[in-house]
Amino acid sequence: MLRLPKFTLHRPTSAADAVRIAAGHGPEASYVAGGTDLYPNMKRRVQRPTHVVSLSRCADLRSRAGVAGAEVTLGAMTTLTAIERDPWLQEHYPAFVHAASVISTPLLRNMGTIGGNLLLDTRCNYYDQNYEWRESISFCMKCDGSTCWVAPSSPRCWAVQSSDTVPLLCAIGAHVTLLGPDGERRIPLTDLYRDDGIAYTTKRPGELLTHLHLPALNGWRASYRKLRRRGSFDFPVLGVGACLHFDGDVVTRAEVRIGGAGSHAIPAVKTAAMLVGQRLRRDDAASGELIRAAAQEAYKPTRAMDNTDLDAAWRKKMAPVFVSRAIQDCL
């Protein structure tokens, strides 16, 4: 049986207490929400906090506030199942609900939280392995070693952004609130991430992600398309979030983010640029052509590497297809 290493558990009752406790233990501490990411990592000894600060009793992290037409705020401890089954979110934020509902399995969604999903550790099949396995490759850059086996001459780590909600939430322009020892700050979600497999967030030491803010509904439409082997369990090995803002049928703003194919949700900048100012209609040949051409531009920025399920070259080829379909969904 794979078991957890020994550690001390703290169970504060408020976010502020959690931050205070974590600060007291510095880099030795880790927050835990649903535990579905941290505990497997601890069992595999890729994360080894000696102090774990559980957020399970922090009632202030479980709220949902906001109404249609204004910003909506979700506490970070909202479970993925709660999002999936929330009729109001289903009605107003269907793409977000869809992205949450295709995460992992129903069992893990019952446990996993939106905060945890936003901060999901980057994944790599040289890293998500037991201690013994990693020993046999002399470990890797992300943990205990020095080489990135995905690209051995690379100075950086290529572990993969693998959250389903992140590409979508980045595309729609969500924000998050972080609470740290030095106070609270609110940032665009896109600013939370960095293109690096190891330092994949800009979260400062001891900071706790407390809330997610969904933008007001004002005529944008979004979609999330996920590529994975099976209809359950699997992380995205390509996950496209797309969001189009319209004035009539003219696109005024577009944002496309490609997840599961690099260390952050990669913006498909050219694709988005080609759509802005264009008239796009459903079941319209000219629109279809335009979208296909724009989607083709997503091929280049997609950084699929040989460290996930499914062939990397094929995954890269699938990016335009999935981008195209995600954009079509928004019409």
Q: Which residue number, 155 or 231, has a Cβ lying nearer to other proteins?
A: 231
Q: Which two tokens stand for residue 143?
A: 């943990």
User: Scanning residues 7 to 26, which ones bind other proteins (CB under 8 A)?
Assistant: 7-9, 11
DSSP 3-state assignment of 157?
coil
**Interface residue with other proteins, options 26, 130, 249, 279 (CB under 8 A):** 130
Length of the chain: 331
Backbone angles phi, psi at 58, to 5 degrees: -85, 90
86 binds other proteins (CB under 8 A): no
Q: Where does this chain touch other proteins (CB under 8 A) — which range of 15-23, 87-95, 244-252, 313-321?
A: 313-321
CB of 8 to other proteins, least distance (A): 8
Q: Where does this chain touch other proteins (CB under 8 A) — which range of 67-75, 102-110, 179-187, 218-226?
A: 102-110
User: Scanning residues 145 to 204, which ones bind other proteins (CB under 8 A)?
Assistant: 149
Q: Which residue number, 111 or 276, has a Cβ lying nearer to other proteins?
A: 111
Q: Which of 209, 3, 221 is nearest to 94 (CA)?
A: 221
CB of 308 to other proteins, least distance (A): 9
- 223 with 256: CB under 8 angstroms? no
What string of DSSP letters covers 237-269? Answer: SEEEEEEEEEETTEEEEEEEEEESSSSS-EE-H
47 binds other proteins (CB under 8 A): no
- 323 with 256: CB under 8 angstroms? yes
User: Could you tell me the CA-to-CA distances from 215 to 18, 23, 114, 169, 326 in Å, in that order?
Assistant: 27, 31, 16, 9, 19
Site string for other proteins, 232-261 (x = CB under 8 A): xxx---------------------------
Q: Which of 271, 277, 318 is nearest to 297 (CA)?
A: 271
51 binds other proteins (CB under 8 A): no
Q: Which residue number, 177 or 287, has a Cβ lying nearer to other proteins?
A: 287
**Interface residue with other proteins, options 14, 54, 73, 90 (CB under 8 A):** 54
- 133 with 199: CB under 8 angstroms? no
Binding site for other proteins (CB under 8 A): 1-9, 11, 32, 35-36, 39-40, 43-44, 54, 56, 81, 104-108, 110-111, 125, 128-130, 132-133, 135-137, 149, 229-234, 309-311, 314, 317-318, 321
